Every structure is written in structure tokens, then in C-alpha cells.
Amino acid sequence: MVLSVRSSLQQSAKLPEYKYLVNPLVKLLYNNADKIVAVSRGVERELSENFQLEKSKVITIDNGYDVSNIQRQGQEELQDNEKLFFDSRKVVVTAGRLTNAKGQWHLVRAFTEVVKEVPDAFLVILGSGELEQYLRQLAKACEIDDFIYFTGFVSNPYKYMSRSDIFVFPSLYEGFPNALAEAVCLGLPCIAADFHTGAREILAPDMVEGDNAVENVMEVAYGLLTPVCSGKYYKDMSEPLEPAENCLAQAIIRMLTDEKKVYEYRKKSVQRRESMKIDVVVNKWVELIEES
């Protein structure tokens, strides 16, 4: 029997109902499997360390992506009013549900610093969720609502992503960051918070996942990593940017003001996506099932 673990259990493991019921069951039942496949090295590590699963049974197989299909969808036309943003501005894009885990409000606050240094910068936030109204109100309170476009739910985010200058992913935690991986598949220069699982596996696969999280902006093999923000909610800019928000702002500014760096990281993303193609991942699953 092969089990697949698709998300991080670290956050939910702290809840009482998990701590006293689900966690013991995970330890008991998962060890009966022949193999346990984690979606990222971070998830693999937490299964071995936090749930005491046999290390020999736990392996990582990343998600695979239909790169050709993602690129095809990226070529679909935008509406005329949307084209204006991409034709005349330096566009920063982020994608994902507007929910606590994604940390988009920290990006909104960081963007107040970005527009001071790069007046033609423009932020596109793809997605919908329970925090949409809060994010809109925060953007207005920070007086940058004219620099942000909330698309709401879109069936094809790739047509926006493909036309953007850089992709930014400010998540607080993830299982595996599909939106970040899809941005790489589109050849975008990427900036991501160094959250618990996934970001450095995509942007810095040679870094050890268990190493300490970055404390400043770090240029790595396939993008930039920044510290994870606090998760604290803010109403406006009456409180200054927290250090991690400032790092996020500086990383964006660094990219938007250095065309050579953008060009280099575009090439890096194109190189990185080769190992993320669906056929590469399918072959890993076939080998595992044949061995089990």
C-alpha cells in the first residue's frame, strides 16, 4: 500500500482535536503502509520528525505540471481594459486563494514601499476568498488602491501571469506551492517567502530543507527568497513595515529596477521547469509502484 500526503500537517497538528486524536492515528496507521509519498521535502521531514514515521518508508515526489498546456493558456487574450495595465506598467503578480495561509496583506503593505521607488509598478492579485474585502480595504487605507488590480476568481490565471514582469508568493505556509511552480513553468522571475515547505525546493533545490529560514533577501539558484512574514493583521500603515515586509519590498524593487537580473531569472525558470514536467514525475510514480 502506498499513501500520498499532499499538504503540511504542521499547522493543524497544533490544534487540540489533532493533537490528541488525529496525530496518534497518523503515527499508528501510516506506518502500516509500504511507502508514504510526501509532496515536498518539508512534508517528508515533518512526517519523519513530528509523527515518528519510519524514515525508510517516507519519500518525496513533487507535483508534475503540463507545461505545454500552461503555456498555451498563457497565450489567451486579455480584455482590452486589462491590456492597459500590462502595456504601460511594471506588473507584479501573485496568485492563490485570498485566505490566511497566503499572506497577501503583507504584500499589499510591502507594495507601499515599492511604488515609492518604482512609480509605474502595478500589483495584480489573482484569486478570490474570504479576505478579499479586507485586502481591498487595506489597499485603500494604505492609499495604493490605484496601484492594485483585484481580478477575483479567474478560470485562466496563466494569461495574466505570462504577461507580468515578476511573480511574488508571500505565503505563510503551504503543502506544495502550485502557483509558484506554475509561474516557473511560464518562465517568470520569482520571489517567494521561505515558508515551511516547498518554496526553496522549487527556487533553491540544492539547499537543505531543514536549514534555518532566511533572515534577509537571498538570491538563490532560481529566484529570490525572503523571510516569512508574521501573519499579523494590520488596518493601515500606522505601524511601520515589519522587517519581513521590508525584505519583500526590497526584493521586488531589486527585480523591477534591474533588467539584467529579470532576464537572468527568466532563463533560470525556463531551465527549472524541465524537471517539473508531468512525464518526469509520472516516471517516478511508475518506478515506485513497480518496486512496492
User: Which helix (H) or strand (E) covers residue 58, if one does?
Assistant: strand 58-60
For 22, which DSSP code? I
10-residue stretch averages of pLDDT, the chain, 292 residues long: 74 57 70 80 78 81 93 95 89 97 98 98 98 98 97 97 98 90 98 88 80 89 97 97 98 97 97 93 84 74
pLDDT given at position 11: 57
CB 121 within 8 A of CB 154: no
pLDDT given at position 33: 77
pLDDT given at position 60: 85
pLDDT given at position 3: 82
**Among candidates 1, 5, 10, which has minimal Cα distance to 228?**
10
**Among candidates 272, 166, 204, which has minimal Cα distance to 42?**
204
pLDDT given at position 156: 97
Residues carrying CATH 3.40.50.2000, the chain: 68-275
Residues 63 and 75: their CA atoms lie apart, in Å, by 23
**Among candidates 119, 221, 241, 120, which has minimal Cα distance to 170?**
241
CB 164 within 8 A of CB 188: yes
User: Which helix (H) or strand (E) covers residue 263, if one does?
Assistant: helix 259-272
pLDDT given at position 61: 85
pLDDT given at position 18: 57
pLDDT given at position 218: 96
- 68's CB contacts (< 8 A; 6+ apart) are none
- 4's CB contacts (< 8 A; 6+ apart) are 36, 37, 39
CB 199 within 8 A of CB 180: yes
At residue 97, φ and ψ (nearest 5 deg) are -60, 145
pLDDT given at position 35: 86
The architecture (CATH level 2) of 68-275 comes to: 3-Layer(aba) Sandwich (3.40)
User: Which helix (H) or strand (E) covers residue 150, if one does?
Assistant: strand 148-152
Residues 204 and 190: their CA atoms lie apart, in Å, by 11
pLDDT given at position 196: 72
Residues 8 and 18: their CA atoms lie apart, in Å, by 13
Residues 154 and 159: their CA atoms lie apart, in Å, by 10
| Chain position carrying cell 531543514 | 210
At 166 the three-state DSSP class reads strand
